[in-house]
Structure 1
Amino acid sequence: MPETMRAVEIEGGAGPIEALHITEIPKPVPKDSQALVKIKAFGLNRMDLLQREGHYPVPSQAPKTMGVEFSGVIEAFGCAPERGFKVGDEVFGLAYGGAYAEYIAVSTHMLVHKPKELSWEQCAGIPETWITAIQALYLVGLFKPGKSILWHAGASSVSIAGIQMSVADGASAVYATARQDAKCEFVMKELGATKAFNTSTQDWATEVQKATDNKGVDIIIDFVGADYFQANLDAIARDGIIVNLGWLGGSKLPAGVDIGGFVRKRIRYEGSSLRSRSEDYQGNLRNQLVEHALPKFIDGSFKVVIEKVLSWKDIQEAHRLMEQNKTKGKLICTID
């Protein structure tokens, strides 16, 4: 068995898109509960752009190779794998890193058996985005049927997952924001959102108040941060929960922000992340994905929305497409 493999690396450890290249690196050896998986496809996530630029805090247990979600075939195990998996099984899963490569050593606690109804590309686009959405919606946002919810960046992969789950699980109303009319139409017509607001042309917080008879929404899932902070406080309902997953609009608040809504409305504002979580925490979320969402993927109720599939040899183009912020859904790379 070869001791090396091909993987996407960053020249100099961090840099621009042009620094991405495929090279030979040592092949991982599975330990303890890990499996060695030969990768068929992997998904791109915005954290990959930040990691490439040297701006993402990579967990200590992660390899330097990028990529956290993948699909492939098990080739070997460590000494104590989770029961239910065997060599030759087709799987997909979540990792702390290392998916931009021919092989990955990953905990079996983060693997899911690949359904025959889904392609390699579809499965590679599920783990990070859908598990993140499950975490934000249920564990942090405390969603229950009858609650109303707003997903920012409505055409992003996490929100595409979250909108579908919110609709399926009986939200009283599901709202979304996006920066293009086409994306607003997409989340309403294709995903079933109640209404979507174009943040480039509308005062979305005011529109939310109009749509809810000035009650606001019960839950807001936010990736933008500082730019939407005040508007989130204006749009949230009394006893509402705002879940912050990122700061695409900056992390430092401008002067004049009024935090009085925290007290007046009894707002809870909580930040969260997934990659920095323990294996046990992630494993519990994997179980929720299998129980809650996997049957709906199989029967077609839930869609894995893929913008484009590229060869991993075109990894620079894939990163360029993600940076342009024009995609709807996942960018997937296949390994030739």
Structure 2
Amino acid sequence: MRAVVITRPGGPDVLEVHDVAEPAPGPGELLVDVVAAGVNRADVLQREGHYPPPPGVPPWPGLEVAGVVREVGPSDEPAGSPAAGSDEVWRPGDRVAALLGGGGYAERVVVPTALALRVPDSLALPEAAALPEALVTAWMVLETADARPGEAILVRGGSGGVGSVAVQLAAARGLRVLATAGGAQRVARVAELGGADVVLDHRSDDLVEQVREATSGRGADVVLDVLGAGGLEENVAVLALDGRVVVIGLQQGRRGTLDVGELLARRGSLRATTLRSRPARDKARLVAAVREHAWPLVTAGRVRPVVHATLPLDQAGRAHELLTSGEVFGKLLLEP
């Protein structure tokens, strides 16, 4: 089969399509014909040599896919029983979206059933590839923050792959959503997604004051942050009493300064979380929670994938260029 191989650490030009051995599913696994694969910033870090894949997964990038089940792995259970690690019965021909540790930039991939989500007929199959990583990450943030209905959440980067889904999920879960985006056009597009009560231009010099005004002076109970070091000062400044900042990205660096006095004054907390490096059992737990509580929102159309563009597999390098350009709204997809 064809897959996008990282020939050496470096820029987008190191991504090349090669013929590789087709994987075989083991117990509790599915072999999936990939219809589309999501492109994520973690893939860029892996390409650059900063984010090696976990042990046991293919070395080529790709953390989420959608496709059609080609083969169900062997099982010791009676025929027709759910596959190991899942309460679902999977059969060849089923439509599936899945979270992966790696290997999605390929024509076929092996998927643990515990990380698989059945794609409803109401959703176009390729678009489903834009959801697993973003939706599970957004759920993980709400869980890490212990976010509760009625609280205010500020989503930094509401136009991004995770942010565009987090805005919708948080609103559906009963939170009051504030989001940021860069420039008037992107602000308007985030507002059109539905779910955000207020969308602010993060390029504004008075972002903190705008958040305070939008929350009647109280501030945000939760901040979803993709900026890292560059966002620390503002994130603490916008916190409500007992507020929580959850960092999931490092787009503006990994080392910064923090006014601990400001954090103390707000009785705030700074938390950080990541998805790819979590143990398999913990990922399965998160996907199970998404399957029960968030995936029905997808089926009902209350949470929708946001796809900026779809490129062929041999243009993976171009996809990485677009992703790092800051022009992408939502998610980029690759089609084999």
TM-score (norm 2): 0.92
> How far apart are the structure 1 equivalents of 2:193 and 2:26?
43
Q: What amino acid is aligned across from residue 23 of structure 2 in structure 1?
A: P
- In structure 1, the residue matched to 2:128 is 123
Distance 1:121 1:74 in 2: 14
Decide which moves more: 22-31 or 126-135.
22-31
| Alignment map for 1:165-244 (pairs within 5 Å) | 165-171=169-175, 173-244=176-247
State the alpha-carbon separation in 2 of the partners of residues 248 and 326 from structure 1.
Answer: 14
Match of 1:148 in 2: 152
Deviation per residue, 1:176-223 (Å, 9 max, x gap): 112222111122232231222222233212221222232111000101
Is the 2:168–2:193 contact (alpha carbons within 8 Å) kept by the matching residues of 1? no
Change beyond 3 A, Cα 1:70–1:204:
same
Is the contact made by 2:155 and 2:166 (CA closer than 8 Å) also made in structure 1? yes
In the alignment, the residues of structure 2 paired with residue 51 and residue 203 of structure 1 have an alpha-carbon distance, to the nearest angstrom, of: 35
- 1:83-131 Cα offsets, whole Å, 9 max, x none, are 5112232211011000101111121111112211111211111100011
1:8 partner letter: V
**Alpha-carbon separation, structure 2, partners of 1:190 and 1:73:** 28
The reply to whether residue 28 of structure 1 matches residue 48 of structure 2 is no
Q: Which has the higher contact order (CA 8 A, sep 6+)?
A: 2
Q: SS of the residue aligned with 1:26?
A: coil
Q: Residue 250 of structure 1 corresponds to which residue in structure 2?
A: 253
Any gaps of 5 or more consecutive residues in structure 2? 76-82
Name the CA distance, whole Å, in 2 between partners of 1:164 and 1:230.
26
Q: 2:107: which partner in 1?
A: 102
Shift of 1:247: 1.2
Kindly, what percent of the aligned residue pairs are identical?
32
Q: Distance in 2 between matches of 1:231 and 1:262?
A: 11
Matched ranges for 1:280-295 at <5 A = 280-295=281-296
Is the CA contact 1:177–1:204 (under 8 Å) kept in the aligned structure 2? Answer: no
Cα distance in 2 for partners of 1:52, 1:249 equals 19
CA contact (8 A) 2:156 2:179 kept: yes
Q: Which amino acid aligns with 1:9?
A: V
Q: Report the AA paired with residue 137 of structure 2.
A: T
Task: Supply the distance in 2 between the matched residues of 1:120 and 1:225 (Cα, whole angstroms).
Answer: 33
Counterparts of 1:275 and 1:147, CA distance in 2: 28
Deviation at 1:305, TM superposition (A): 1.0
Letter paired with 2:305: V
Structure-1-length-normalised TM-score = 0.92
Q: Distance in 1 between matches of 2:154 and 2:52?
A: 28
Q: How far, CA to CA, are the matches of 2:324 and 2:208 in structure 1?
A: 26
- The list of structure 1 runs, each at least 4 consecutive aligned residues, that deviate by more than 6 angstroms after superposition, is none
Aligned partner of 2:299 in structure 1 is 298
Please tell me whether the aligned partners of residues 160 and 191 of structure 1 are also in contact (alpha carbons under 8 angstroms): no
Matched, 1:40 2:60: no
Shift of 1:38: 1.5
Q: Deviations over 1:299-330 (max 9, x none)?
A: 32222111111221222221111111111111
How far has the Cα of 1:291 moved from its partner? 2.1
1:236 and 1:45 map into 2 onto residues whose CA distance is 28
**1:132 and 1:274 in contact (8 A); partners too:** yes
Structure 1 residue 296: deviation in Å?
2.4
Q: CA deviation at 1:48?
A: 0.8
Query: Quick one: which of 61, 70, 80 aligns to 2:56?
Result: 61
| Counterpart secondary structure, 1:63 | coil
Distance 1:325 1:69 in 2: 21
1:68-107 correspondence runs (5 A): 68-80=63-75, 81-82=83-84, 83-107=88-112
Indicate the SS of the match to 1:22: strand
What's the secondary structure of 2:200's corresponding residue?
A: strand
Question: What are the equivalent positions in structure 2 for 1:152-163 lying under 5 Å apart?
Answer: 152-163=156-167
For residue 23 of structure 1, what is the amino acid of its counterpart?
A: H
Contact conserved, 2:181 with 2:190, CA < 8 A, in 1? no
User: Are the counterparts in 1 of residues 67 and 126 from structure 2 also a CA contact under 8 Å?
Assistant: no
